[in-house]
Amino acid sequence: MGQQVLNAIFIGSIYALFAVGYTLVFGVLDILNLAHSAVFMLGAAVTYSLVVNYNQSFVVAAVLGIAACAFMGLVIEYVCLRPLRRRRAPPIAALISTIGLALIIVAAVEQGRPGSFFAWLWVDGANSVRFPPNMLPNPTWHVAGLTLEATKVAVVPITLALMLVLGYVIRFTQFGRGLRAVAENPRAASLMGLDVDRMIALTVVLSSALGGVAGILFGLALSDISPYIGRDSLEIRGLAVIVLGGMGSVPGAVVGGYLLGLIEVLALVQFGSNVHAGVAFAALFLMLVLRPQGLFGAQLHERL
Amino acid sequence: MKRERIILGLLAVLVLAACGTTSTSGGGGNSYAGKTIKLGAILSITGAGGVYGPQSRDGMNLAVNEINKAGGVNGAMISLTVNDDASDKAQSARLAQTMIEQDQDLALLGPTLSNSAVGVHPLAESLKTPILAVSTTGIHIVPDCNFPDTTPCKYVFRDSLGEETAIPDNIKSYVEDKHPSTGVLLVAQDDKFSSDGGTIVQNTVGQYGITLLATIKFSKTEADLSPYVTQAVQKKPDVIFITSLGGIPAKIMTEARKQGWTGQFLGGNGFNTATVSKQAGADGKGARSASAWYIGNTFTSNAAFVSAYRAAYSKDPDQFAAQGYTGIKILADAAKRANLTFSDLAGDRDKLRAAMETVNIDTPLGPFQFTSDHDVKQTVWVIAMDGQGGFTLVHEIKAS
Amino acid sequence: MDFILQLFNDPVAFYQTHTLLIAEIGINSILAVSMFVVLYSGQLSLAAPGFMAIGAYTSVLMGNYWNTPLPLNLLVGTLFAGVVGLAVGLPVLRVRGVFLAIATIGFIEALSLGVILNLPITGEGLGLKNPTADPIGGINIVLGSVAVIVFVLWRLTKGRLGRAWEAIRQDELAALSQGIDVGRYKLIAFILSALIAGFAGGLESHLNFFVDPTEYGVTRTVQVLTFAVLGGSGNVFGPVVGALFLTTLPEIVRVPNFDYRDVISGAILILVIVFRPQGIVGRGGLAIIRPRWWPKARSAASPG
């Protein structure tokens, strides 16, 4: 049981990191960025390629990987989001354009094979790979019948540290204040002299960078990097987390992440592995029916 | 005037006769000179099955090129079109229809995934077109492609060793070595291949004295399998059975080793590619499975196949490549003996089907023949991961 | 590509050799109409695949166990889906916007993972075989159904129901204040959508030899949503056009030995939605933004 709680804490951190990206964009733009899971995967894939195919150290590769994700955030903004804002399109159109971009990103990695057009990005095609075993020191400790693995343990403080920094930025810096203003009321913000477009772009870039970090940590700790890691279950779980925590609330996403991890693991232990995913989603459904604003979401308009 | 015409006519006849005999026909009587044998393959190049499809394609193309360079089949060139079904059942079925009815392929190969085969094989059967499965190993592929209807399907064949042979052979081989008594089964419940494998494990362990302490089901799209592995490991079994595909077996192995479990991993075809061995790394060392093919096997055709593949693609072939290559060889041999007319497609397809039943050739999989159920009868190789991205041979189980 | 050539050169042969494709377009059209009904009434419900699953499993189980004729199976499957639609639609009446989307995702995943995969009668992970499937002959039923359903919906949207739905979609509170029984109309739309989706599911199972439990999850729902949004959800024909376009897209882009189909599809998706955010059949012209250097005189003749 103790081991399962540890599992929950670890996966909760990943969910939280991943969901924060979603919630940032939703809070500011009222849009679900469905390319986020593809960016998550891209972070892991690019870092892996740099380490294995280009012989970089992990640190250099990770920094470049995160940078690649940040750049992809720019792509998302300029290709998928801004043109639609200009045309005053309904938010649901942005859903579709981000789906299109996600399709392209996943396909590009999936078709990365020796000799293909995308071989510079990735050469393992649809396969699952892992970082070279001795790339980072990764001792495992057995304490009180529990197994503690260094990379998994490290994910928790990294996540919390990032969230604290993010929280500080949002609450206390000028950028953060601008962000909250845009989230509250974009027209008023622009009348006050804020460059709304720039704020939005920065938000998407920040969100994507965080997604990239989550992806790299995921690939590192779970020994699994493939074109499908974002899409498969992380995407819907990310949605579940922001619902639980409240859309647009960063602390909500963090708490929601750990909460979902715990719910899943408890359901597993209590009800068995067959039904536990179903239980988690049923819980989600109930939450939405009974308290749609989530734990931390205030009524409708207050966001970050 | 009339005489000139007779001479011209005779000349014409002579010329035609000369044309008819200048092509080198290998099989004696029936010459297919100038004709094309159209084959179609439905493979998963994108999507989850994209882990296997490309290798099947490479193996097939190698065989086609070899055969065509050596003069073709009785002088006819093989034309193989490979179409990607994106691991999607509906696309797979649509492709089957298009290739059978529009492209008018003589025979089909594939599809890659058991999930897709469930829809494609009955369709091919109802459209009376021979189809040769080259990578599906689930149950109810042959001969009962219309399960639960037990009428055998006449047009469906398979050259990929089924799990219902592979898994029991693997378990039996390990039990004879080490006598385990308990096991836990981890199976992905939303994948036909995995579920089939799981069912076979459940039905087999009893007869070898292994008690299955738990069957743990999970979704193949789960991000983190640690909670399931924790559940398995807490039961302290001697053996953990894993019947899943893709990245899942390696993840489970890595996690189980981290949690301190030192027992034996046993699996099915999901273990049999180099990528899985590489992903599992040292954590997978010793994990066993039964394979239809082993790179170091000493069958006559194998060495030539391996070196030709390496020369063409700069990488080692795997089981899927070998089965794809063999598939083409089987169809070519059947075509040679089938007395094809190239003018009656339905009749030719039926003749091909009949000829396939009597195939008996040397392949990289060994001497190959179909059983009366159109299934595979061949040597089974029990292999173990060597911890470094490859495999070592444990047992060779000859076909009985 | 030669697929299009054949369509124009020899339509009859095209029809005969592509029955599966045409049938699939038909099914997707029906699904798109199901999505249309809820979107038109202002509800972003993504529950269609769940109701499809109910229709499919019920229909096939009846046929397998009781040997009942197809029309009866389809009818019972559809009705059962409708009943579940009522059970789900009632509690979510006051859940709005994107929250409804996530709640319905919760429903379909809970149904799929929790129920279907664990009920022995559904064959669990193995799915159900449907020996009476008729992929070639079934096309007649499909095309007939499409025609009937589209016609019926078209009449409905022109009548009182349609006007009520439109009012609700524009502004729910205003509609309420005008005396429209918002709850009732929304529920009607929800149940109607469930019925149509259930029917589509049952029909689809008649065309495939196999009911696959993994086909009724988030991927499916995103696909159906894309039909409706890309086609334009202003009237009932938009989603049908969307379904037609997106189902044939993989075939149009199919070139032997070209593995980058998804990249092209993703790009086309983005282009279509950016240049026509209201959907292909939506009102309004091609939404091209005039760049600064575009001389004003020309804009009078811009495409519309």
B248 in a domain, yes or no?
Answer: yes
Supply φ then ψ for residue C55, to 5 degrees.
-60, -45
pTM of the model: 0.84
Q: Is B115 on the interface with C (CB under 8 A)?
A: yes
Residue C304 at interface with chain A, using a CB cutoff of 8 Å: no
C13 to chain B: which residues are within 8 Å by CB?
A: 102
Which candidate from A7, A126, A232 shows the least CB-CB separation from B230?
Answer: A7
**Candidate from B222, B246, B259 with C-beta closest to A233:** B222
Highest mean pLDDT among A21-30, B389-398, C44-53, C229-238 belongs to C44-53
Q: Which of A103, A231, A234, A242 to mutate to test the interface with C (most CBs of C within 10 A)?
A: A103
Higher-pLDDT residue of C120 and B6 is C120
Residues B214, B156 share a domain: no
Residue range A33-84, pLDDT digits in tens: 999 999 999 999 999 999 999 988 999 999 999 999 999 999 999 999 999 9
Asked whether residue B47 falls in the same domain as residue B114, the answer is yes
Judged by a CB distance cut-off of 8 A, whether residue B291 touches chain C is: no
Residues of B with CB below 8 A from A226's CB? 246-247
Sketch the domain layout of chain A as residue ranges.
2-125+175-290
Residue B23 maps to a domain: no
Residue B82 has pLDDT above 70, yes or no: yes
* pLDDT number for residue C185: 92
Confirm whether B250 is domain-assigned: yes
Tell whether A282 lies on the interface with C, counting CB pairs under 8 A. Answer: yes
Tell whether C213 lies on the interface with B, counting CB pairs under 8 A: yes
pLDDT tens track of chain C, all 304 residues?
A: 566 777 777 778 788 778 888 999 999 999 999 999 999 998 989 999 999 999 999 999 988 888 888 889 999 999 999 999 999 999 988 888 778 888 898 899 889 888 888 888 887 777 788 877 787 778 888 999 999 999 999 999 889 889 999 898 888 888 888 888 888 999 999 999 999 999 999 999 888 878 888 889 888 888 898 899 888 888 889 999 999 999 988 888 887 767 788 888 889 889 988 888 888 887 655 555 555 555 554 444 444 3
Subunits in contact with chain A (3 or more CB pairs closer than 8 Å) = B, C
Range of the domain at B273: 164-291+382-397
- List subunits contacting chain C, requiring 3 or more Cβ pairs under 8 Å: A, B
Q: Do B175 and B314 belong together in one domain?
A: no
- Chain B CB contacts of C129 below 8 Å: 118, 140, 146-148
- Residue range B85-128, pLDDT digits in tens: 988 888 899 899 989 988 899 999 989 988 889 889 999 998 99
Same domain (yes/no): B174, B268: yes
Same domain, B182 and B281: yes
B284 shares a domain with B179? yes
Chain B residues in contact with A224 (beta carbon < 8 A): 247, 250-251, 279
pLDDT at B145: 86
Q: Check if B392 contacts A (Cβ < 8 Å).
A: no
**Which residues of A fall within a CB distance of 8 Å from C109?**
236, 277-278, 281
Same structural domain for residues B38 and B138? Answer: yes
Residues B183 and B326 in one domain: no
Task: Write down all domains in chain C, each with its CATH number in brackets.
Answer: 2-275 (1.10.3470)
Q: Do B224 and A14 touch (CB under 8 A)?
A: yes
Predicted confidence (pLDDT) at residue B28 exceeds the cutoff of 70: no
- State whether B76 and B200 are in the same domain: no
Which residue among A113, A218, A269 places its CB closest to the CB of B54? A113
Instruction: Based on the fold, state whether residues B156 and B301 are members of the same structural domain.
Output: yes
B19 inside domain: no
Alpha carbon of A128: minimum distance to chain B alpha carbons (Å):
5
In this predicted model, what pLDDT tens digit does every residue of C242-296 receive, in sequence order? 999 999 888 888 877 677 888 888 898 899 888 888 888 876 555 555 555 555 5
Comparing C-alpha atoms, which of C133, C233, C152 is closest to residue C195? C152
B379 to chain C, closest Cα gap in Å? 29
Contact A110 B223 (CB under 8 A): no
Q: Could you give the ipTM of this predicted complex? A: 0.85
Q: Which amino acid is at B332?
A: A
Residues 6+ apart with CB under 8 A from B258: A140, A147, A149, B283
Read off the pLDDT band of B24 (50, 70, 90).
Answer: very low
Q: Are residues B153 and B222 in the same domain?
A: no
What's the alpha-carbon Rg for chain A, to the nearest Å? 19
**Which CATH number does the domain housing residue B212 bear?**
3.40.50.2300
Phi-psi region of C136 (alpha: psi -120 to 50; beta: other; left: phi over 0): alpha
Number of domains in chain B: 2
Cross-chain Cβ contact B282/A133 below 8 Å? yes
Asked if residue A224 has pLDDT above 50, the reply is: yes
Q: Is A288 on the interface with C (CB under 8 A)?
A: yes
Domain co-membership, B178 together with B272: yes
